[in-house]
Amino acid sequence: MTTNPSNPAPSHPAGAASPLAPKWLQVPEDLNALHEPMWAAGVTRDDSGELAIDGIPVSELQRQFGTPLFVMSENDFRARARAFSDAFNDAFADICGGVDVYYAGKSFLCTAVVRWVEEEGLRLDTASGGELAVAARAGIPGADVALHGNNKSDSEIHRALDLQLGRIVVDSLAELERVAKIAEARGETARVMLRLTPGVHAHTHEFIATAHEDQKFGLSMAGDSTEQAGLSAAEEAVAAASAYASIELLGLHCHIGSQIFEPDGFALAAEKLLDFLAAMQAKYSIVLPELDLGGGYGIAYTPVDTPRPAAEIAQAMAAVVRSKCAELGITAPRISIEPGRAIVGSTTFTLYEVGTLKTVRVDAPAAGESGDPEKNVTYPRRYVSVDGGMSDNPRPVLYDADYSAILASRSSDAAPELSRVVGKHCESGDIVVRDVYLPEDVAAGDLLAVPGTGAYCWALSSNYNYLARPGVVAVRDGSARLIVRGETEEDLLNRDMGV
């Protein structure tokens, strides 16, 4: 640890909590231990103290595939997909005969994953022509695929019809008209769900219910949202959709947010949509046989995240759907859900190699924020640079997302030191893990593993600073294979026309 002689020494002993640490971050009792909810099944420390997945040491993965590297457990992906599907099917069996689970491909998609999804009996939610192209290449039947998006192009709508998609989730009145016209011109019928905004927005531990949502998605359920007095955009869409001969209106959809732990928000949205569904069925003499309650189920990124088991959420939602349908006197619609993160998030860790280490001294944080620091004292914060960064995981920059990390290439008995894991990009905000205790003896050449990077990391990755996007390795039953190869410099140069 470097010290600046003009500053007093840190007043906290080695291994004690740093006053710079956020309140939620505890000094781990054992820096080598894996906090189980954050890791894929099959990830362990082997006898030598090295992190291994299905018995394959991370140094071997680095040797074969390089770093940074996304390391995904195929068995764990399949198990989580099945667990979600089983939990919801069990909970809803007596209500609507079960649930259709659409894996949200935006969280992470490649052809191998589409095949796993299909083999485990799930369906696929896509959000663009590109995602549809992956689905088509993997050969999943179009009937098992949904297409989302608030700004679908005509060619995406054509592609959805070419692939005979099970559902197009329509997001606006204008889009409804376009889908109807395109289908009519083709002499076909488009199967459509309407995405509504129920005025419920949930995030992690909280949800808020508002009359109107100020955001770009969906059809508002608020009464005065169109020019037709008294009709909401949602109702206008139901009326229009049922009148188009080229549209088969399957039902209603909502998605209330992401990384949600408590079932209350889902339950409230389900109640609002069921009220609306019953009212529309009565008013327009139609049957809306399906209701999709979206995705958003949270995972553990750090030890303080405590997501509920899928069964608990499924049962809470089923109880609400059961009692609401009884109260309304309607047959329960077939329920579907769209989990992404909860299936893929924890299946994957990112493997990085440590490079430059640097310790800076930082003023004590304001009292009350983090304990009761002394005045005029600075504390050390160690910056641990790794060979990736915001190009392979922009979530800390985009959403202030917290992650965790462990020393992976070996175990260590050294004291914990508050560390910030940063990338190699030309941005001071290029943070991979904002606050984590790592062993004091972490050194250049060590490997770090960051768990929980299966969802929205590779999917959101970029080539910032001309870094090549990392590959994704799937490990199954003790063997590892690339399911997405990492980019090469040649890939990066290929699109530069040089003119």
H or E, element range at 385: strand 378-386
Q: How far is the CB of 168 from ligand LLP (least distance, A)?
A: 13
The rounded distance, in Å, linking the Cα atoms of 205 and 424 is 33
For ligand LLP, which stretch binds (CB under 6 A), given 25-33, 46-54, 103-111, 132-140? 103-111
Here's the x/- map for ligand LLP, 380-419, by CB under 6 A: it reads as ---------------x---x--------------------
Q: How far is the CB of 259 from ligand LLP (least distance, A)?
A: 6
What does the radius of gyration of the chain's CA atoms come to, in whole angstroms?
25
Considering only residues 142 to 161 of the shown chain, the ones binding ligand LLP according to CB under 6 A are: 148
Interhelix angle 310-328/264-284, rounded to 10 degrees, is: 30
Per CB under 6 A, 296 contacts ligand LLP: yes
Per CB under 6 A, 452 contacts ligand LLP: no
Provide the 8-state DSSP code for 144: G
For ligand LLP, which stretch binds (CB under 6 A), given 102-110, 231-239, 319-327, 350-358? 102-110
In the set 96, 325, 426, 457, the catalytic residue is 426
Q: Which of 93, 89, 91 is nearest to 121 (CA)?
A: 89
Q: How far is the CB of 120 from ligand LLP (least distance, A)?
A: 16
Which two structure tokens, joined as six digits, stand for 184? 């009519």
Q: How far is the CB of 46 from ligand LLP (least distance, A)?
A: 31
Amino acid type, 34: L
The rounded distance, in Å, linking the Cα atoms of 357 and 384 is 5
Nearer to ligand LLP, 170 or 480 (CB): 170
* Ramachandran region, residue 429 (left: φ > 0; alpha: ψ -120 to 50; beta: rest): alpha
Amino acid type, 284: Y
Q: How far is the CB of 116 from ligand LLP (least distance, A)?
A: 16
Per CB under 6 A, 346 contacts ligand LLP: no
Considering only residues 159 to 198 of the shown chain, the ones binding ligand LLP according to CB under 6 A are: none
Q: What distance lies between CA 212 and its chain's CA centroid?
A: 25
Nearer to ligand LLP, 156 or 446 (CB): 156
Per CB under 6 A, 265 contacts ligand LLP: no
Q: Which of 437, 431, 441 is nearest to 402 (CA)?
A: 431
Is 254 tagged catalytic? no
Q: Which of 176, 186, 153, 155 is nearest to 244 (CA)?
A: 176
The terminus-to-terminus CA distance of the chain in angstroms comes to 50
Per CB under 6 A, 295 contacts ligand LLP: yes
How many chain residues bind ligand LLP (CB under 6 A)? 21
Alpha helices, DSSP H, located in 139-232 = 154-162, 173-185
Per CB under 6 A, 258 contacts ligand LLP: yes
The rounded distance, in Å, linking the Cα atoms of 243 and 284 is 10
Per CB under 6 A, 297 contacts ligand LLP: yes
Nearer to ligand LLP, 43 or 202 (CB): 202
Residue from 78, 152, 341, 424 binding ligand LLP (CB under 6 A): 341
Q: How far is the CB of 215 from ligand LLP (least distance, A)?
A: 11
H or E, element range at 355: strand 348-363
Q: What string of DSSP letters covers 91-130? A: HHHHHHS-EEEEEETTSS--HHHHHHHHHTT-EEEE-SHH
Chain residues binding ligand LLP by CB under 6 A are 104, 106-107, 125, 148, 255, 258-259, 294-297, 338-342, 395, 399, 455-456
Residues that are catalytic: 426
